[in-house]
Amino acid sequence: QVQLVESGGGLVQAGGSLRLSCAASGSFFSINDMGWYRQGPGIHRELVATITSGGSTNYADSVKGRFTISRDNAKNTVYLQMNSLKPEDTAVYYCKAILTLVPAGTTSYQYWGQGTQVTVSS
């Protein structure tokens, strides 16, 4: 079974930094796209950043210039470097991956991690 495991969350002061990691494991052929989303209490999950298999990135306006998404395809891992953190960045951060399960597969599947808490104090 495919599994996404996030790590790197925690408590940090405003202006500080954290690096989140998400590693995919299990039975799959390749990872097409990966991304990070976040969700606060009573709020729908929102996009933070995405990265394609070719390395093209997209960021929410609220994190542009502060966050950087990257990936290591050999390790099946995506990272989110979070700098200049603000209290409004406080949320549970979820990793998402779009996977192709078999060679020459024509269908991709979406998987989510369990989330990691990021808390930024003022």
Q: Is the pLDDT of residue 43 over 90?
A: no
pLDDT tens profile 62-92: 999 999 999 999 999 999 999 999 999 999 9
The share of the chain scoring above pLDDT 70, in percent, equals: 100
Q: Is the pLDDT of residue 42 over 90?
A: no
Please say whether the beta carbons of 113 and 24 come within 8 A. no
pLDDT tens profile 93-122: 999 999 999 998 889 999 999 999 999 999
Please say whether the beta carbons of 69 and 59 come within 8 A. yes
- C-alpha distances in Å from residue 39, one per residue of 4, 54, 95, 100, 107: 17, 27, 12, 26, 28
Please say whether the beta carbons of 111 and 14 come within 8 A. no
Cα angle, residue 67 at apex, residues 60 and 21 outer, rounded to 5°: 110
